[in-house]
Structure 1
Amino acid sequence: MKNMLTKYLIDFSNLKLTRPISDKIRILEIIGVVITGIGKFVFMDYFNWRLPFVVFAILTWSFYVFYRYKKDNNVLRDWGFRWDNFKSVLWLMLPFAIISMVSFFVIGYIQGSINMSWHIIPLLITYPIWGSIQQFLTIGLLAGNLKDLKRVRCNKGLIIFVTAIFFSIVHYPSIWLMIGTFILALFYGYIYLRAKNIYVLGLLHGWLGALFYYTVVNQDPFMDVFMKFI
């Protein structure tokens, strides 16, 4: 009897207390993600304001996260900003990450595009921050909100596919980036809908993305973004 009571107490203690989120808020968040994607084409591709746009997007969405957190301190966990399942999700995604890295070097070797330099080190440190924001927007807000809409019920497979298409399109015009991000988003969407953890998604996004640039794409983002300000 005592063990049964303890079990029920543990179960009740783990119940989510996040306030219900209306479809209106979810739709507005999806619109905000789409506007951010459009902003990428305008400010990063047309005006070539890569670093200012990234900084602005990080600050703006960080402010929104803080605002929502003040309204409901359980929303971070609901989005996937959590540490309790970090290790389990990391182990779940590790095989994909290893296969991806090996594939990058094989493709880079075949097409002669491997261009490794010390410039990748600052990106391995900073890119996971931007990667976390991208995953929060694309996977957390887009896929997550599509899944939890009350008035419109979407199939999980369709949600993952739509999210992957969106994530691929915002990386136009680089064909390699579009292919890579499409595959990445397919797997990330599947994982996120099973076990939410933005930290793992962002960390691996940053590391894989940095390596992808210097092996497959043959670009130097550090030179393109930072060196012109030095």
Structure 2
Amino acid sequence: MKSKLTKYLVEFSNFSLTRPISDKVRLLEIIAVALTGVGKFVFMDYLNWRLPFVVFAILAWSIYIRYRYKKDTLVLRDWGFRIDNFKTVLRLMMPFALLSILSFLVIGYLQGTLNLSWHIIPLLITYPIWGTVQQFLTIGLVAGNLNTLKFVRLNKFPVIVLTAILFSIVHYPSNWLMIGTFFLALYYGYVYLKSKNLYVLGLLHGWLGALFYYTVVNQDPFADVFLKIING
């Protein structure tokens, strides 16, 4: 009896309690995410305005989150900004995270691209913020909205695969980043649609992403962004 009650409470907590959102709003959110992806190519890749774009994207989407929250206080929970299931989702993510870290180290060793330095520490602190925003946009708004559209019913599998493809494309032209983010988004999408928690996904995205740069991709984002600003 207790186990059935617990199962019911978990399912109830994951059920959307927000006011009904129209397909128009959901599609507009997906389009806005796509435009943010286009902005990445223009401002980060072409103009090399990496930090200004990241700061602007965080502020702009924070304003939208606040706007939606003022209209419906339950929307944050529905999106996955919640802590009640933090440990549960973390347990789901740990095997993937540990396997990823081991894979990064092995690939980095074989490639000769292991470049672990103190530069990774600031990224481990700051990158989860940007990681949470990315998960909110790609997994929360894209996968979440595609999964709940009314005019077309999509199974979870195509929703997850499509979201993973889109997330991978955004990381063009780096082949390693495209491959890594594709598999990351596959598992993240599965976990998110099963049990929403953007904090866990964002935290691990930031940590795994930072380690990925210094082991597999052989890049130093701290030097590329922050040291250039400090040194003028």
> TM-score category by the smaller chain?
over 0.9
What is aligned with 1:111?
Answer: 111
Give 3-state SS (helix, strand or coil) of 1:226's partner: helix
How far apart are residue 73 of structure 1 and its match?
0.2
Q: Which structure has the greater CA radius of gyration? A: 1
TM value normalised by structure 2? 0.93
Equivalent residues in 2 for 1:1-230, closer than 5 Å: 17-230=17-230
Q: Distance in 2 between matches of 1:218 and 1:17?
A: 44
The alignment covers a number of residue pairs equal to 222
Q: Distance in 2 between matches of 1:136 and 1:21?
A: 17
Give 3-state SS (helix, strand or coil) of 2:137's partner: helix
TM value normalised by structure 1? 0.94
Q: Distance in 2 between matches of 1:122 and 1:36?
A: 25
**Residue identity in the other structure for 1:40:** K
How far apart are residue 16 of structure 1 and its match?
5.1
Runs (5+) with no aligned partner, structure 1: none
How far apart are residue 95 of structure 1 and its match?
0.6
How far apart are residue 17 of structure 1 and its match?
3.5
Runs (5+) with no aligned partner, structure 2: none
How far apart are residue 18 of structure 1 and its match?
1.2
Q: Distance in 2 between matches of 1:90 and 1:65?
A: 24
Q: Distance in 1 between matches of 2:16 and 2:46?
A: 44
Q: Distance in 1 between matches of 2:45 and 2:59?
A: 20
**Residue identity in the other structure for 2:143:** A
- Runs of at least 4 residues off by over 3 Å: 13-17
Q: Distance in 1 between matches of 2:60 and 2:95?
A: 33
Q: Distance in 2 between matches of 1:66 and 1:153?
A: 29
Q: Over the residues paired in the alignment, what is the CA RMSD in angstroms?
A: 1.5
Q: Distance in 1 between matches of 2:225 and 2:130?
A: 13
Q: C-alpha deviations, 1:103-141, integer Å up to 9, x for none?
A: 000000001000011000000000000000000000000
Identical aligned residues as a percent: 74
